[in-house]
Amino acid sequence: MTPSTMDKLGIGDDKVYGVIGEFSEPHDLVEAGRKIRGMGYTKLDAMTPFPVHGIDDAIGVPSSKLGWIVVCFTILGAATAQGLMYWVGAVNYPLVIGGKPLFDVSYSIPVTFELAVLFSAFAAFLGMWAINGLPRLYHPSMCYKNSHRASDDRFLLVIEADDPMFEPAKSADHLRGVGAAEVEVVEG
- 46/27 Cα distance (integer angstroms): 13
Domains, the chain, in order of start with CATH, read 17-62+144-187 (3.30.70), 66-131 (no CATH)
Q: What is the pLDDT of residue 99?
A: 87
Mean pLDDT (the chain, rounded) = 92
For residue 187, give the H/E element and its range.
Answer: strand 182-187
Question: Is residue 161 a contact partner of residue 46, using CB atoms and an 8 Å limit?
Answer: no
Q: Flag whether pLDDT at 92 surpasses 80.
A: yes
Which one-letter DSSP state was computed for residue 150? Answer: G
Q: What is the pLDDT of residue 6?
A: 46
Question: 63 by DSSP, 3-state: which?
Answer: coil
The predicted-structure confidence for 29-61, as pLDDT tens digits, reads as follows 999 999 999 999 999 999 999 999 999 999 999
Q: Flag whether pLDDT at 28 surpasses 70.
A: yes
Going by pLDDT thresholds of 50, 70 and 90, the confidence category of residue 97 is: confident
- 28/103 Cα distance (integer angstroms): 61
- 16/186 Cα distance (integer angstroms): 6
Is the pLDDT higher at 120 or at 148? 120
